[in-house]
Structure formats: structure tokens, C-alpha cells
Structure 1
Amino acid sequence: MVWRQNNALIGRASELDRLVGVLDAAAAGQAGAAVIGGDAGIGKTRLVTELVSRARAQGFAVLIGQCAELGDSLPYLPLADALRVVGDDPSAGPDLVEAIQAWPMLLRLVPGSSVGSGPESGSGLTQQQLFGSTLGFLAELSETRPVLFVLEDLHWADTATRDLLVFLSRMLQRERVCLVGTYRTDDLHRRHPLRPLLAELQRLPSVTAVRLDPLGTDEMSDYLVALGGADAKMIGDIIERAEGNPFYAEELLAAEGLPYGLASLLLARVERLSDPAQQLLRAAAVAGRRMDHDLLSKVSGLEDGELEETMREIVSRGLLLPDGDYGYAFRHALLQEAVYTDLLPGERTRLHGQFARLLGGSPAELAYHHLAGHDLPGALAASVEAGRRAETMGAPVEAHGHYDQALALWHRVPDAERVAGIDRVRLAVLSAAAAHESGDTHRAVHQVRELLTTEEPTAGIWERLAYYLIDADDEAGAIEAAKTAVHLASQRSVGLASERSVGAASARDHADRDLATHGDHDAGRILARALATYARALLWSYRHDEVKELAGRALQVARAAGVPDAESSALITLATVADIDGEVGQAKELLALASGISSGDLSIDLRAIFHHARVHYEHGDLAAAADIADRGVKLAHETGLSWSTYGTDLRFLRLLIHYVAGEWEQASAVAAEFAVRVSRLPEAVLSGYALFVEVASGDATVEERMAWLKHFWHDGFVVYVVRGLAAEHALWNGDVRSAVQHIEAVLEVLGPSEAAVIRIAATGLWALAELGESRPAQADDLLRRARVAATTGPGSAPRGDLGPEGKAWLARAEAEWHRVQGTATPATWRAVVDAFDFGFVYEVARSRWRLAEALLASGSREEALKEWEQAVVTAEALGAAPLRRALAELGRRARFSPPPSPSSTSPSSAKSSSASSSPADSFASSPDESALATLTNREQEVLALVATGLSNREIAERLFIAQKTVSVHVSNILAKLGVSSRTQAAAYAHQEGLASERPGS
């Protein structure tokens, strides 16, 4: 570019400094992104060129990709462009080439790659695989050297590229990666799809927005002088007319200040070419911003010698530039647009037709040229192929667009089925599948329902409708559609069995097995999937008792017909039923079978492994759960699916196992992968998982994370995870009423049979106990809810084995209820300690805290000290700061000496000791001996009875006063003593010798 004379970058020092800051931060291990916006010709490419130069000088691996004006026709074009350039660049470095070759999904994007194109229809995970592969590729490459990835012209980006950019901007955190994107601000109309993406990106703290404004008068003058301008008057005129746009100023200078608009200026330069050169440049404009030399030669019809001379003329005028081994590129996109716009309609159609006839490679480009050339049969065939190609590349939005385009052309093309190579029903099903995979489930449902009204309804179509309705949370619709699918598929199987002379009475009994045995594989496949989907639809409905028979039948047909995805799905459903019914051993066996099947659908494979690990975890086998979860996490990573639904579920489960087992350093490492500042629901769910360990450890991140997650309290799952843990956080910080509000909000969204109710009810009862107010009805209701959830499964059927953790939380709820009533005993809390002692390290320690309080209240000081010391040691080792503070308070009131510091030098212990003062400092303080003197005689009498475990009603009867008066006395006592619960007040009474005095006894 002429502007690069003397390698001077004029007027962009502050913008470059900001970009260099992002680059330097990436080199230091803090990933970041920058988006550079500005009008066409304002200098975005020049600025990026300077940044790329500096990055290369610092040893960065540099990837540069460019979007094209074909829009959604070419998915992941800038990524494919960057990978292709690396393959063609001998200076790229072996580490960069090897890094790409390690990810087969990325190789699918590279033209000429030997990697297979994949199945006709994706599993719904292809895009997630590609996203995960790109993330893994950049992360692994950044371990060797930092990476700069530039995506130019995002205003032309396809949907898949836009989604990938958002994904990478969110997921890259500690990797040494810098992302940079450029876009034209003057191209962004009000509904441009890039607008919401930019708004979303600019909310992320890791993203820097840089806007290039017009250059000032002095800067423009320096720039024009650097270009060779010498006439002061002309320079002044150009500055006035160019309005701060460097590209426009350059063109005006080249035209010696002639009074043209920008398009006219550009075409004036074209018109100076010879006729053959003008014709060649027009053909190049139809090809796009870049063009292949051989293809351009064929379109132009010029002989080699004439072509070279003509091309040399164009290049010497700075209109086209050599583009490596690829061919040529227009010096600026504005130039290509001006030439293309100036084409006559017939000329444009003819040239597009020529490219369509000669073009090989991208079917999306071929479809584009066929449509522009009014070749509808060619456009239909190319659109179908482009849809298939987009599927294999993990671009479901683009695939759906291509398939929909083919459907729109269908009735305008004679003999469409032969031309397309596919029947219309299958094409519509593929389109609906692509819509579903892109997350537009409602569009998928609409397309399938429309298909049912225009084509002959089949079992396969009804099964797809049921499958999509399950994901759309339309339980009734899914059940009805699945029932119809099974009915139609069963009719076919019975008919086929009857044709083989099976008696009518026994036809149904033999049909399912006979169907597959005699080779009608398609019918067997459809029946197996219909049955599996029907069982899945009924699993959590009131017809839960029908699921076992249906899933068993699905398993039989799937095995006979050799349909591994239906077989695995049926096994998972059967295992879920067994687990609900308390047949834990059978559930584990079934899930072991399911997780050992390679179904051909990674979503089902990961789902099987997840549930296999989950069942072991929920029933207390932490070691087995950890091993199985690790296998799933490894599979998800290797296939690029770490951020898929079950990939993230497996990592969360692994975090939970670490958390329960007391491996908080490892749990924190997993939690750190989940972003704090989120703006999408899936990210909010992941972020909420991190709160388990962060709340328990008192991490400073909790407040910020909860502030961001507050925007997602409309979602039931987020409410359960986040507000449930927010209640615990509030309790640890003395905000009891906020905790009660959180609990009430969670219980509004949980169904009565959900096991999660038990933990939430236990936390709610903890809050009521801390209030120090008599709320027997509310406490009774919470305990009732916990007991209902512990005994009732889906459809009001009896729940099977609750599992050790569920039983432990129920014991905790019972104990907290007794705290509310003032009737807690050491035996009550001993039962909680024993229940959690299946390996839940933290909850054992937290229960020992309450057990120690109860023992003190009963006068068993030595036993209380023993439990207290064990809890302190665990809290110190874990780094459980809130629990450690609570134990310190109890230790001060009881005048316990601090236990010996843990000998462990683990990171958890180090974190614990650095979070506050030393253990000795925490526990050596004496209690406030003047607190007792602040109590009136009546309050001391009430406190003495509280210490005996009497309720407010019983105290009122003993002292012959109103129960409300007792409640007021208790509240005053708690405030004066500076404690937050009756149990703590009772412990203080024993410490001061009040408990031995029992007035009225």
C-alpha cells in the first residue's frame, strides 16, 4: 500500500499503544481481545499491519484471516483462511504447523485436507467440537509462544465466525493469546448482525474497543507529504475534501485533486487501464476480494503471455496486489466494490455463470455464483452440497440457511429430486436438524410440523418431532408425538412380521426381534429410536411407571437392529429408572454398559459417562466416581467437547467430587475456568458451579460473581445453585433475613419431588435458627418439604434409595429443625456427623461445629473440645475461612485453647493461613466477661432456661409470662451477648455457670 512509504504510522499512536497493551498482556499470560472499528479507508488494516509487525518481532505466532462479502455462505472463512496461509507459509514454524495437524476438526477447514468430511448429518456437537478444537489449538500453541489471531472485515463475517469470536473471547483467560478483529462502522446498519455481537463483546473486561476517528488536519498534512505531495494548495484542498480519511486522500492525491467522489475516483483509475486490463479487473471483481490466478486465467480467456502482461499493468497501478501462492487480492475492498457495482447486469450475470462453470472447491461459493448467474438447477444442487459441507464444518446456522435455500428453489427446478440428489422430505429433515443443532429448536419444531402437513406422515418424522419437543420443554407434545411414532413404527413391524407368516396373535410378540433379524434395518432403526425417545419423554412425567417396559423394548429392538445410539439411550433411561426405584446396583451395571458403547454420537457417549459417574457419586463411591468422571473429561477434551453440555457437566461433577473429598485446591482450579463476568445463560450456569468452593472458602470473588449472576435469577437452575449458595454466604456474614429470602425464592422454583429441596430446606432451617425468633409453622413446613422430597419420586411414586448425601442432608434438616425449636441434642448432631462421614470432608467439619455447641450446652465440655479441635484442623487444612471464624467464636466463648496447627504444608493449608490471622490469634482471645452484667435478672433467668434446651413456650409456662415476652427477652439476650443463635447463647450460659440454675424446676 502506498500509505506505508517510509514505514510511517501517522496519527494513530494512542490507538496503537492500546493495542500493544493488549498484546503485552497476552504475552504475560492474560488473554485479551480488541475490536477495531472505523469507516472504510480510515486505516484499520494499516494499524493492524503495524501490530502484526511488532508481534512477530516479539516472537508471536501470527494467524491472519479475512472475511468475504459472501457473508453466511462460507462458514469460518477467516479461520480457514488463517490455517491455509499457515500451511502455505514456510516461515510459519514447525510448532504452528504441528499444532494445526493435532486437531482433525480444524483440518476439515483446510482446502485439500485428507481428513474425511464426516457424516451426512452431524450429531449436534460438531460446532462445539470445532469451537473446542480451536480453543485447544490456540491454548496449546500459546504454551510454546504467544499467539496473535487477526480476523479482518468482521462486518462480512458469517454467523459461525461471529459465534466463534464470542466463544474465544469468553473462554480464553490465562492463555497467551491476543484476538484482534476489524470492522467497518459505516457498513453497520441498524439491524446488522454484528451490532449485538459488538455490544456483547464490549461488556467483557477482556475486550478492548478501539475506534479510529478521522485524522486531524496536521496528521493529514504529514500523511500526504509522506506520500509525496508537494503542492501546498493541493494538499490543503485534499485535506478539506478527504474529511480525515487517509484512503480517500491517497486517491485524491493520485488523481491530482480532480473533483470526484470516492467511487468515481476509484473508477477513474480503472479507466486508465487498457481494455484487456479493464475486462480482467471486472472479472476479478466478480470473484471477490481475492482470486486464484488459474481460475482468473480461465475466465478471462487470455493466453498466458497476454495474461501476464495485463496483470502486470494492473499490479503496477496498485489496483491488485500479489497474494502469496493464492493469486491476487484487491488493494482495498472499496476498490473491488466500486468495480463490481459498475458492472452491467448482463455482464455480471455472464461472469457469475462463467465462474460457476469453472469453479471447483467450495460449494457455497458455487451456489452463490449459480444464483447470481440465474442457474437455478445449479444453485439447488450446490446449496444442498453447501449445507452438507457446513454441517461437517460445525456451522449449523449456515447449513440451515443452505438447506432452506434449496427448499425455496425446489418447486422452481424441474426434476428437483434428481438434480439435488436427495428427496424433499430428507432435505427438510436435514434443515430442521440443522436448526435444532444451532439452538433454534422452535424453528426445527415448526419445520417438522409443516412437513407433517405436506408429506405423508412417517414414524421417523414423528420421532424427530418428539425429540425436538423434549428439548423445547413441551412434555405433553413430546409424549403425544413419540406415541404416534411408536404406533406407526410398530404397525410396520407387525405388518412385516405377518408377511413372514407369523400368526396374527403372536405377531406383536415376535415383530420387534423379527424385524431386525430379517434385514429391514431402516424399519428396525426407526422403531428403536422411536421407543427410546418415547421412554425418555415419559421419564419425568406422571406416567413414569410405563418407562421401564418401553425402555426395555427399545433396548431389545436396538440390539437386534444394531442401533448403538438407541441402545445406549435406552440403557441410560433404564438405569435412571433403577436409580429412582432404589436399585442402585442395577443402575450402575446398566450405566457401565452404556458408557462402554461407542454409539457414534458423542453427545450420548458423554451423557452415559456422566450419569455413570453421577450415580457412583450420589451413592457415596467417590473414588469410582472420580475415575469415571476423569475418563469423561478426557474424552471431552480429546474431541474438542470440553465446553459442550455434558463436557461442562462432567467438569462440574469433577469439581464437586474434589469439593466433597476435601481437594479444594483442585476444585478451585476447575472453578477458575468458569468466567465471573457473564452475559449468557449457559455461562451463568457454569459460573454458578464455582460458588460451591468459593462460598465455603470465603473467596473474595463471591460478591462479584453473584453480582453478575443476579441477572439470571429468572432461570430455575441458576436460582437453585446460585441463590441456594447465596443463602449460605449471607448466613456466614450474618445477613439472616437475606438468606431467608433466597431460600424462599429457590423453593418457589423447585418441584416437591426434587431431591435438591432437601439441601435447600436444611439451609432454610439453619437461617430460621439464626433468627432467634419463634417460627414453628415455617420450620415445620421446611422439614415437611425435605421429608416429601426424600420419599417421593417422579409422578408421586415412592422414591428409591436416597443415597448417602441425600440422607445426610435430611439428617441435617432434622437437626436444624431441632435448633429452631430449641431441642437439639448431641445425639441429633452426632447423627449428622456420622451421615456425612462417607467422605464429605467439609460437611463433617461443619457438623462437628454444631455438635460441639450441643455438647457444650449439655455440659460435656471435654467431648465438645475434642469435636471442636477436629473441626478446626479440617477448616484450617481446607481453607474454609467462614467455618474457621465460626469455630474461633465458639472457641473464645468456651475458652478453648487453640489446637496445634496442622502439620500439612499443602497449598490448601497455605491458603488457609494467609486468608486471616494465625490460628493462635484466632482462638487466644478471652470472651467478653462484662456481657453477662448487661443482662437483667429476668433475662438471666430466661438464658438459664434456654441453656436447658427449653422452647419459648415452655419457658413462658415455667416463668408464668407470655410467650411473646419470652421471644423479646431472647432477642435482647442474643443482641447483648453478641451471638446469633440460641445454641451459642446456651453455650455461653454453660461457660458462665448459669445452666446449673433451673428456676421453677
Structure 2
Amino acid sequence: MNGSLVGRATELSRLVRVLEAAAAGTAGVALVGGDAGIGKTRLTTELVAEARERGFRVLVGQCAELGDTLPYLPLADALRGAEPAVAAAAAAHPLLGQLLPGTETAPQAGLTQQRLFGSLLGLLNEVQPVLFVIEDLHWADRSTRDLLVFLSRMVQTERVCVAGTYRTDDIHRRHPLRSVLAELKRLPTVTSVELGPLGTGEMSDYVSTLGSVAARDLGLIITRADGNPFYAEELFAALAEGDDLPDGLASLLMSRVEVLSEPGQRVLRAAAVAGRRVEDELLREVSGLPLPEFEEAVREIVSRGLLRVHGQGYAFRHALLQEAVYNDLLPGERTRLHAAFARLLTSPAELAHHHLAGHDLAGALAASAEAGRQAERLGAPAEAHNHYDRALGLWDRVDRAEELAGETRETIAFRSAVAAADSGDNHRAVTALRALPQTSEVSERLAYYLAEIDHLDAAVVAAEHAVATASDQVSLARALATHARALMWTPRHAEVEELAHRALDTARRAGAKDAETSAQLILALYTELHHGLTKAHDLVRLVTTERTGDLAMDLRARFHHARIHYDQGLMAQAAEVADAGIRLAYETGLNWSTYGTELRFLRFLIHYASGDWDQAEAVASGFAARVGTIPEATLSSFALFIEVGRGSPAVESRLEWLSPFRHDQFIAYMFRGLAAEHALWKGDPATALDHVRAALGALVAGDAASIRIAAVGLWALAELGTTDGADDLLATARHAAESGIVGERVQMGPEGQAWALRAEAEWHRVHGRSDPELWRQVAGAFSFFPYEEARARWRLAEALLASGDRTAAEAEWSRADATATRLRAEPLRRALADLARRARFGGGGTDGLLTAREQEVLGLVAEGLTNKEIAGRLFIAQKTVSVHVSNILAKLDVSTRTQAAAIARRDGLIP
């Protein structure tokens, strides 16, 4: 590599800006694309040097042209080449430690991929600031692509920079990286850098850095290189060696290979079969040369710049050179070399690759089956699925297939289906499982995945078959638990309780801890819906007292335990359990698994509900506003609670980004409900009512979420001064409070009960009846929720003013204002300030707002008298009455006599 970077100052400065942002605490991703040889690696090498100067730890890993054969190859490559401190930190994470040399791979409990991702995120946090470079993403395996997406979306405030390179000329229309790049480039944290050809002047400067060259040859190189630095280097080398310049890059590259001695060519051909990199000892064995002759051949190759020393082996200076040499091999030569590597390798994934390329189908089947099992243990379900499918594809072409695979065809197919589901493809898993003999184990998994994709009727049928065909108590326990789960949201939900109890008893007798926990959680959910939160809490508490060995189940149990505390209004207890669950998720690398994420969502809500708004805002700052998927939109929507409550200017942007995802039921509830509140705070009740109607249209009749939405709708109607639709909204709230989706009465927790009370109070307000006692009940019901309690006391103060109890009204106002001030709930503070201004709280009573004469005039205005009639009643001039009325309208900040009378009655300014 020459010492200076030519013609890439603009591109490098963009990459350095990403690095600078990461150093300041805003993580980022840079994707560098360009044709082969255009200078991607040279550019990232400069970035690496810049990062080291700035004190960054650097990890560099490279993908290989083995497709999905070797999962997480660049991550393993990066960790193996990491500095000792980083390698030691990685070894402390068991799943990352498996990727280090000399580490035995042990079986892992489920959710291995999520645990691996979480472990890597933990490592990056520990060693930050860090630059992680992944080269040649066009060759990345599925799990590495998933890892890139994970890091791009999840690193937010960490001092982490991720950089990836890829060949644009290899990204054809159906290339698996193409959709990933399209998805990532929409993210605000991702910077895309495309390298084009160098210009004529830049190419001239670049070639001059390679050495002295005659003017005629310089012009020839620039013309032939077409702006590609690597091509220019090869042309320069060929001219320097006195060769003619052949047509085409492949011919040019091979012309440099052909000048090697016969042993040198032999060694280089073997290296090309190994791939981009190869260990010294392995290359010597495959070449078949005596050690002195081998070393002389390697020295020749390295001196000509075709291979470079890399660790304990060698690497091709450029992937194009490896491809050219490989493609030049004769078919038989290629087969024999692959077979030679297969005899010496121990990695199942590499063995499978070389056996297949060497036409050893039996070896390929055996290695593929073992590679699938290894990928499972490494947490690479997509690769496991591919390996198993390859073994299945070879099954009928190989004798003694079962003996070679070490398992039956049905077992391999079952493993393949489960791996497909674990990689997120439940539909493929369902298809594969349906093709298998329906044993209890197969039917149970089929039922589970069918329930996941909401095919509940088919899930129930499969679960019933699993129960009927169970051959042992463990299988029966799991089948019963899945059957109960499948029935939960169907018209047969009444059967769930008995089934769950039966599953629980069976699991305990069989010692099947996972099935026991699953049954207990299903029973708790059923109990919560039908018998109340207290009984459900007792059931869940038992599950969280010990670990089951199934981490997903343990986290699920802790989530529901914390959630039930939250639903009971027991915020301190909910926080304690949620924190314990989050610690467990972090310790096991599952902080980004489904329930690891759900626990953090819940923790945000606990902060929000208990009045710890600064902490809630800090958590919400990690919920990216610019979203591209439903899970991201779901996460983002939670931030609206705190942003709307504090009147943040970020609300409008977040709502705009969430808008395309309003078809999702949960997002519709969050988006519409909080957009309605935002519109109300801005004084736009008509828009708020539109959001309320859209939200209720998206929710299932009887959904408890309807209560809050209906209450907000009634607030909007009160502001609009109309009763049209109020009865329907109250009926919606009452129906949801009295019945659930399952069609039976559901016992709500304190928050649901409080919102139901608020809906009743808002309905009375719509009809002009501000009942202090009802609003007092609402405030008391929200006693565990400071913000909502303060909003209720705001309305209570208004109701007390309207009833003439000014002293009590000011006391309630003061309590609400203190809470709003502490929370920095600006919209509520403004509403309370407006009430204080109109009621003259703290300003010496009513006389501070209206004079005695103005109060007399206002009282007569409220009776409906004209100016002339008021003048006659008070024995003053009609013009004087007009002045008083004008002053009253200005002080009350209204434009009509009717509005003035309404505010005066509401705020107690007149008897």
C-alpha cells in the first residue's frame, strides 16, 4: 500500500465526522460502497489510523467468500485479532468467548443469537470508544447481516462507530445485502459513502506515488485503469516487470501470476482454493512441497506483492486476485485441492464447503449436519437452518445418510424448522413442520408457531394432537401448556384454567421446569383477566423465586411480575422487580431480546407513572424518532408520553415519523391517543377528536385501552362545547370497563379504574356539570400517578370555583401546580397558570381581577341583560356599562358576553 491517500479527502472527512460524533457520545454507522479495487479498504485503513490517534479501540473483521457457511466470521476475525485488553474483556462474555481461539463450544440455553448480540453490545460499552470495521459485507453471512442491522439500530449514546465496506458491482437485484442496505440507509445514524472512479488528475497523482514512470506509460495506465486504483497498481507492476499489457483485468492479474516459478504458482493456486486467507501450515500441507521449496515459493509470492503476511498465515492482497487465480483452475485441479483441504480441516462449516466443492457428497452431508449443530450453539439460527437444509438436500444422494448425519432425517428436519423460527421465519417453520410425521414434539412446536402468527384455530388443532400423542410426561406437560396458550384468545378460553392446572401438575411430576413456568404464566394471565390482579400476582411471584434454566422463560416471568405490580399501582415494587429482570437480561446478554426490551419499556413507564420524569426522559432519549419498522415505531411511540407531557418541540417530528405505522393496532392507540392530547394542549379540540375516533376504530371493542381514549375524547367535546357523541364515548368506556376481549367481566387494576372514573367526570363536564366530588374521586384514584393526579386536581379546582368554594379551589390548584412544576409538565403548568390568572389565586381574591362594579355588571351580563337594561338596573350611563363590559372581556381574555358569563360561573367570579 502506498503511503498517501489521493483523491478521497471528501469521503474521508465524512467518515471522520462519524468518528467524531461517536467520540462525543452519538454512535454512528458508516457504509462504504464501491466497485472492486476502487479503494474501500484503503479508505477504511485511513479511518482506522485516525481512530487510533483519537484513542479508539479498533476491531477489524473480514467476511469471506463462503456465503452463509461460517456464521459471525468477521466478528470472530475481529476478536481474534483484537488487542489483549479487548480480547480479555470478550473472554469474560461466555458467548463471545466461544469465538476466540482454543475455546470449546458448549451447548447454550435458548435465545442464543439475542444473547450474543447483547454480549457484543456489552463488550462495546466496556471498551468504548471503539471502531468496529466489517470488510466485504457483500460476502456476509445472514447472522452477520442481522448483527449489522442490530448495531445500526441499537447503538445510540455509546461511543461506538461501526464501518462496513461492500462491492457495489456485486450487489445484484436479488443479493441479500441489497434490502439490508436500503433499510439501513434510511436511518439517521447511518452515513453512506459511495466511492466513484478517480479523475484523470487524481489518477496521475496516484500513479506517481507508486514510483517513477515514463509519460507515455503514465498515459497508458490512466487510460486503461479507468479510474480504478487497484487496476492502476496492477498495470504499473506489469509495466515495471517489462510485460505487455493484456486485455481485461483477469488477464492482467494472471499475467503477473504466470511469471512465478512453477512451485510459486502451485502454492498460489492452493491459497486461492483456501479463500482470501490461509494458515501457513495448512497451505504447506495442501501444496505438497518440501518445507525449503515451500518457503522459497512463498517468499517469491510475497516479494511480488501477490500475497501478504497476515498473522500466522497469508492473505491475498486483493480479493480480485484470489478470484482470478481460483477461476483459472482446471475443474479436476480445483476438486483435488478442495478435497485436500477437507482432509486437513476440522471446522464443520469449512469442511462442508470444501467437501461439496470437491464433490464428496457423503463428507458434505456429515459436515453440514455437524455445522448446523455448531451454528445452533453459536447462536446463528439462519446458518443452522441453511446447513441442515443442505444436509437434507443431499440425503437421498448418499448411502448411510442417517449414520453420517448422526441423527434421523426427521430429527434434522425438525432442527431445521426450529432454526428457521428462531431466525424469525415462522412461516417457513410451519411449512417444514407440517411436512413431518406429526409426533407430539412436532405438533407442539407447530402449534406454538401457528399461535405466534395468529393462526389460532390451526394452532388449537395442532396442540390437541400434541396432547393426544404425547409419549411421556415431559412432552405432555409442554403440549398442555401450549394448548392452554393457543386457547387463551379464542371462544374456548374457558378451558384455559383447567388445562393450565393440568399442565402445571404434569410438569411438576415430570420435573419439566420450562413447562411448569410456562403453565404458571398462562394461569397467571388467565387469573388476571378473570379473577383479578392480586391472585395473578401471587401466581407470578412463585415463578420468579428461582431460575428455570430457560432464560427466555425467566425473563418473561419477571416481566409479568413487574407488570402486575405496575397494574396494581405498586410502583416501588414494580421498579424493584423490573430492575432485577433488566440485570438478568444484561448479565445473560439478553438485554435486546423480546422480554429484555419489554422490561426496559416497562421501566420507562414506571419512571413516568411514579413521577420520575427526568429519568423517564433520559430513557426516552434512546428511542429513535426516525423509524423504519413496526418494532422501532412501537419503541418510539413510548417517548410520546414524556414529550407530550412536557410539551417538547420533538413531538411534531416524532408524530410525523410514526404516522406511516398507524395501521398497527398498538401504535394506533399510542400515536392517536397522545396526538389527541397534544392537540388539546395546543387548543385544537377538533383535531383531537379526529384522533380519538380513529384510535377507537383501530381498537377491538372492549379493549381496556378504549377507556383512556374515550376520556380524552370527552375532554375534547367539553372544549368544543358540544354534547354530540358524548354518550357514545361514555358507553365505550363503560363497556371496556365492564367486559374484556374474551367476553367476560374483567377486573381492572387501579389505573384502569381511575381512567373509568375520569371518563365519567369528563362526561359530566361536557354536559356543564362540574361535580367536585366526582373529580375528587378521580384525583384519589390516581394517587399512585402524580401527573394524572395533578390533572384531576386541575379539574377539581375548576369545579370548586364553579361551586363557590374558592378557598378549597386554591388549595387544589396549589397542589396541582406544585406537581406540574416539579415534573416540568409545561402544558399543564400553562393551563394552571391560566386558571390562576382568571381566578386571581394568590393575588388578593376576586377584587384583584374584577372591581366590585365589574362584578355587578358581570352578574347582570350572566343573567342575559343588555347594556341598556344593566344601565337602568344600576342607575349608570349606558356608555359606562359598555366600558365595564369591554374591561371584563379583556380581563377574562374572551371575545363574547356568553363566554365571559360561562368562565365567571366556572371560576367562581360571580355568585
Verify the 8 A CA contact 1:463 1:482 in the aligned structure 2.
yes
Counterpart for residue 338 of structure 1: 324
Counterpart for residue 357 of structure 1: 343
SS at structure 2 position matched to 1:65: strand
Distance, in Å, in 2 between the alignment partners of 1:819 and 1:979 is 22
> What whole-Å deviation, never above 9, does each CA across 1:331-388 have from its counterpart, x for those lacking one?
1000000000011111111111111111112x11111111111111111111111111
Matched, 1:154 2:99: no
Matched, 1:530 2:446: no
Verify the 8 A CA contact 1:229 1:253 in the aligned structure 2.
no
Distance, in Å, in 2 between the alignment partners of 1:992 and 1:619 is 37
SS at structure 1 position matched to 2:59: strand
Matched, 1:46 2:42: yes
Displacement of 1:754 in angstroms is 2.1
> What whole-Å deviation, never above 9, does each CA across 1:659-684 have from its counterpart, x for those lacking one?
11111111112212221111111111
Counterpart for residue 474 of structure 1: 455
> What whole-Å deviation, never above 9, does each CA across 1:517-569 have from its counterpart, x for those lacking one?
xxxxxx11110000000111111222121111100000011011111110001
Q: Pick from 150, 155, 158: which aligns with 1:172?
A: 155
Matched, 1:184 2:167: yes
Counterpart for residue 591 of structure 1: 540
Distance, in Å, in 2 between the alignment partners of 1:627 and 1:981 is 55
Distance, in Å, in 2 between the alignment partners of 1:657 and 1:718 is 19
CA 1:641/1:932 → structure 2, altered by over 3 Å: closer, same or farther?
Answer: farther
Counterpart for residue 855 of structure 1: 800
Distance, in Å, in 1 between the alignment partners of 2:860 and 2:318 is 91
Distance, in Å, in 2 between the alignment partners of 1:989 and 1:787 is 30
> What whole-Å deviation, never above 9, does each CA across 1:874-904 have from its counterpart, x for those lacking one?
10001101100110111111111289xxxxx
Q: Pick from 99, 107, 121: which aligns with 1:118?
A: 107
Counterpart for residue 864 of structure 2: 941
Q: Pick from 68, 86, 102: which aligns with 2:92?
A: 102
Displacement of 1:600 in angstroms is 2.2
Matched, 1:393 2:378: yes
> What whole-Å deviation, never above 9, does each CA across 1:170-223 have from its counterpart, x for those lacking one?
211221111111111111111212222222222122221111111111111111
Counterpart for residue 406 of structure 1: 391
Distance, in Å, in 2 between the alignment partners of 1:793 and 1:51 is 58
> What whole-Å deviation, never above 9, does each CA across 1:207-263 have from its counterpart, x for those lacking one?
211111111111111111221132101101111111111111111112126243111
CA 1:56/1:303 → structure 2, altered by over 3 Å: closer, same or farther?
Answer: same
CA 1:990/1:479 → structure 2, altered by over 3 Å: closer, same or farther?
Answer: closer
CA 1:934/1:26 → structure 2, altered by over 3 Å: closer, same or farther?
Answer: farther
Q: Structure 1-normalised TM-score? A: 0.85
Verify the 8 A CA contact 2:892 2:900 in the aligned structure 1.
no
Counterpart for residue 329 of structure 1: 315
Counterpart for residue 907 of structure 1: none
Matched, 1:201 2:184: yes
Displacement of 1:750 in angstroms is 1.8
Q: Structure 2-normalised TM-score? A: 0.93
Matched, 1:235 2:218: yes
SS at structure 2 position matched to 1:941: coil
Distance, in Å, in 1 between the alignment partners of 2:200 and 2:144 is 37
Distance, in Å, in 2 between the alignment partners of 1:870 and 1:982 is 30
Counterpart for residue 821 of structure 2: 876
Verify the 8 A CA contact 1:541 1:794 in the aligned structure 2.
no
CA 1:104/1:781 → structure 2, altered by over 3 Å: closer, same or farther?
Answer: same
Aligned residues: 884
Counterpart for residue 7 of structure 2: 11
Q: Pick from 707, 713, 716: which aligns with 1:764?
A: 713
Distance, in Å, in 2 between the alignment partners of 1:728 and 1:73 is 52
Counterpart for residue 986 of structure 1: 902
Displacement of 1:129 in angstroms is 1.1
SS at structure 1 position matched to 2:308: strand
Aligned pairs for 1:165-564 (under 5 A) are 165-256=148-239, 258-325=245-312, 327-361=313-347, 363-451=348-436, 455=437, 457-489=438-470, 492=471, 523-564=472-513
CA 1:399/1:925 → structure 2, altered by over 3 Å: closer, same or farther?
Answer: farther
Verify the 8 A CA contact 1:220 1:239 in the aligned structure 2.
yes
Verify the 8 A CA contact 1:551 1:573 in the aligned structure 2.
yes
Displacement of 1:416 in angstroms is 1.2
SS at structure 1 position matched to 2:842: coil
Displacement of 1:289 in angstroms is 0.2
Distance, in Å, in 2 between the alignment partners of 1:283 and 1:473 is 52
Distance, in Å, in 2 between the alignment partners of 1:829 and 1:222 is 79
Displacement of 1:93 in angstroms is 4.7
Distance, in Å, in 2 between the alignment partners of 1:360 and 1:113 is 14
SS at structure 2 position matched to 1:73: coil
CA 1:631/1:983 → structure 2, altered by over 3 Å: closer, same or farther?
Answer: farther
Q: Percent identity?
A: 59
Structure 1 stretch displaced more, 469-478 or 738-747: 738-747
Verify the 8 A CA contact 2:838 2:892 in the aligned structure 1.
no
Counterpart for residue 682 of structure 1: 631
Displacement of 1:798 in angstroms is 2.1
How large is the Cα RMSD of the aligned pairs?
2.6
Q: Pick from 705, 709, 728: which aligns with 2:658?
A: 709
Distance, in Å, in 2 between the alignment partners of 1:980 and 1:203 is 51
Matched, 1:817 2:732: no
Counterpart for residue 620 of structure 2: 671
Displacement of 1:985 in angstroms is 6.6
Distance, in Å, in 2 between the alignment partners of 1:850 and 1:78 is 60
Verify the 8 A CA contact 1:564 1:598 in the aligned structure 2.
no
**Unpaired stretches in structure 2, ≥5 consecutive residues:** 867-888
Counterpart for residue 682 of structure 2: 733
Matched, 1:138 2:124: yes
> What whole-Å deviation, never above 9, does each CA across 1:148-178 have from its counterpart, x for those lacking one?
1111111111111112112111211221111
Counterpart for residue 72 of structure 1: 68
Verify the 8 A CA contact 1:892 1:925 in the aligned structure 2.
no
Structure 1 stretch displaced more, 657-666 or 697-706: 697-706
Matched, 1:610 2:559: yes
Verify the 8 A CA contact 1:239 1:249 in the aligned structure 2.
yes
Verify the 8 A CA contact 2:37 2:231 in the aligned structure 1.
yes
Distance, in Å, in 2 between the alignment partners of 1:931 and 1:541 is 65
Q: Pick from 52, 58, 61: which aligns with 1:62?
A: 58
Counterpart for residue 911 of structure 1: none
Matched, 1:789 2:736: yes
SS at structure 2 position matched to 1:215: coil
Verify the 8 A CA contact 1:895 1:927 in the aligned structure 2.
no
Distance, in Å, in 2 between the alignment partners of 1:791 and 1:42 is 68
Displacement of 1:99 in angstroms is 2.1
Distance, in Å, in 2 between the alignment partners of 1:980 and 1:338 is 86
Displacement of 1:927 in angstroms is 8.8
Matched, 1:83 2:79: yes
Counterpart for residue 838 of structure 2: 893
SS at structure 2 position matched to 1:397: helix
> What whole-Å deviation, never above 9, does each CA across 1:955-1001 have from its counterpart, x for those lacking one?
xxxxxxxxxxxxxxxxxx999954999999734346585x54xxxxx
Structure 1 stretch displaced more, 101-110 or 462-471: 101-110
Distance, in Å, in 2 between the alignment partners of 1:822 and 1:869 is 24
Q: What is the letter of the counterpart of residue 293 of structure 2?
A: E
**Unpaired stretches in structure 1, ≥5 consecutive residues:** 87-91, 493-522, 900-922, 944-972, 997-1001
CA 1:888/1:228 → structure 2, altered by over 3 Å: closer, same or farther?
Answer: same
Counterpart for residue 874 of structure 2: none
Structure 1 stretch displaced more, 252-261 or 53-62: 252-261
Counterpart for residue 520 of structure 1: none
Aligned pairs for 1:907-922 (under 5 A) are none
Aligned pairs for 1:959-998 (under 5 A) are 978=894, 986-989=902-905, 993=909, 995-996=910-911
Verify the 8 A CA contact 1:564 1:597 in the aligned structure 2.
no
SS at structure 2 position matched to 1:150: strand
Distance, in Å, in 1 between the alignment partners of 2:668 and 2:194 is 39
Verify the 8 A CA contact 1:571 1:591 in the aligned structure 2.
yes
Verify the 8 A CA contact 2:839 2:849 in the aligned structure 1.
no
Verify the 8 A CA contact 1:772 1:981 in the aligned structure 2.
no
Distance, in Å, in 2 between the alignment partners of 1:533 and 1:368 is 39
